[in-house]
Amino acid sequence: MNNGITLIDVSGQPAREQTFWPTVVLRRAIIEAEIERLASIDRPVDGRRAAAVNHPMNTGPVPAFAPGIDVHIVVLKPGEETVPVLRNSSSVDMCIRGSATVSNGGMPFQVEKYDVWNTPSMHPVVYRNDGNDLFVRLSYSNTPLLERLDVHYSSPVEGARQNGDRPSEPHVVQRSARDAAVPIPIGQDGAQLMGYEWLVDIDTIDSKVLHWPWKDVAPHLDQVHNLDLSYTGRHLYVLYNPATERRIGTSHSFFATIAKLPPGKVDKPHRHTSAAINYIMWGHGKSVVNGERIEWEEGDLHFSAPGWSIHNHASREQGFMALTIQDHPLHIAMESLLWQETLKSPITKLGSEQGIETNLTAIGG
């Protein structure tokens, strides 16, 4: 009895041709109309009025704008606050209207337009709108990936720390069991045998909520904006979270970058296995993705780089500024981040091979 299990002969079969979701733009007018609609509905039990941006190619099991990334438009009315929830998904958020206080078990902090912050897995966060306008944020998470794996944990929190209560100081851990499970070398190249204790008592990294206030970030963007048009890199800064270490992320799944491009900048066509979503903060421009030309402007949300699609972006006479969310750190962790900086460049596995050199030093940046 095989309980429905089948054996499929795949001997000599070629790899499946990958399906690229097409580039799409959610226009500012639609986003603004949805914000007003959300503000008009009754307050949900958890206080979270939200709409998920769903790509037309998505087949579930949950809404997604890229195969492993969701984007929610979240609205909170003045005087309201959300109920904390424990999730093993993580997120990166940007405020696009209003202001709010974010409480996460440590010192609360205020967020306002274009501030960015991350929420690590299993961190119950409370948002309180203590202003006079709607508080609106774009929230990007790795929920679709966890849902596809059927391992997304989500549960309300009873008595979660709020209002600035600090967690207790970490205590020194005695690791007698792990210390007794001494690794056994196998061969000469570093292979080892390790006991069960090493699987369940992993070295920890402090993963906490970090905040990038726009007032502190904005002045630095002139540095990349003023780089010469001959610069071969991207005119951006990464919002770096030290907990991600060599993966150079804002969360363990995503990096967030803010780019400020000068007028007339045209990227060379390139590709990478990480997907990218751009929110246009200012200005306008165009992209070519897999041969399809698409234009966008301030307030639009653009699924700009379906994984491994050939693409490039160009600014118009104003230049433009954009938040980009990309699942780059996740791919580095999986050793799957392929990168081709130009179509004449070799395909590089970033994180395992020598990376890409730019001409920053030569142009005096």
Dihedral sign, CA of 214, 217, 218, 224?
negative
- Domain-located, residue 181: no
In whole angstroms, how far apart are CA 279 and each of 27, 128, 249?
Answer: 10, 24, 18
What is the Cβ-side half-sphere exposure of residue 330, based on CA atoms within 13 angstroms? Answer: 24
Q: What is the pTM (predicted TM-score) of this model?
A: 0.94
Residue whose C-alpha is closest to residue 45's, from 156, 147, 127:
156
Task: State how far the Cα of 282 lies from the Cα of 96, in Å rounded to an integer.
Answer: 12
Q: Based on the domain organization, do 136 and 252 belong to the same domain?
A: no
| Owning domain of residue 233 | 211-349
- pLDDT tens-digit map of 281-295: 999 999 999 999 999
- pLDDT tens-digit map of 59-117: 999 999 999 999 999 999 999 999 999 999 999 999 999 999 999 877 899 999 999 99
Residue whose C-alpha is closest to residue 286's, from 261, 258, 256:
261
- Domain-located, residue 309: yes
Q: Based on the domain organization, do 57 and 149 belong to the same domain?
A: yes
Q: Based on the domain organization, do 279 and 344 belong to the same domain?
A: yes
> What's the total number of domains in the chain?
2
- Domain-located, residue 183: no
CATH code for the domain in which residue 302 is found? 2.60.120.10
Q: What is the pLDDT of residue 162?
A: 43
Q: Based on the domain organization, do 220 and 345 belong to the same domain?
A: yes
Task: State how far the Cα of 96 lies from the Cα of 365, in Å rounded to an integer.
Answer: 31
Which amino acid does the sequence have at 278?
A: N
- Domain-located, residue 194: no
Beta-ladder partners of 278: 302, 324
Q: Based on the domain organization, do 137 and 236 belong to the same domain?
A: no
Task: State how far the Cα of 234 lies from the Cα of 365, in Å rounded to an integer.
Answer: 12
Domain final residue, candidates 137, 154, 171: 154
Q: Based on the domain organization, do 242 and 150 belong to the same domain?
A: no
- Domain-located, residue 363: no
Number of other residues whose CB lies within 10 A of the CB of residue 2? 6
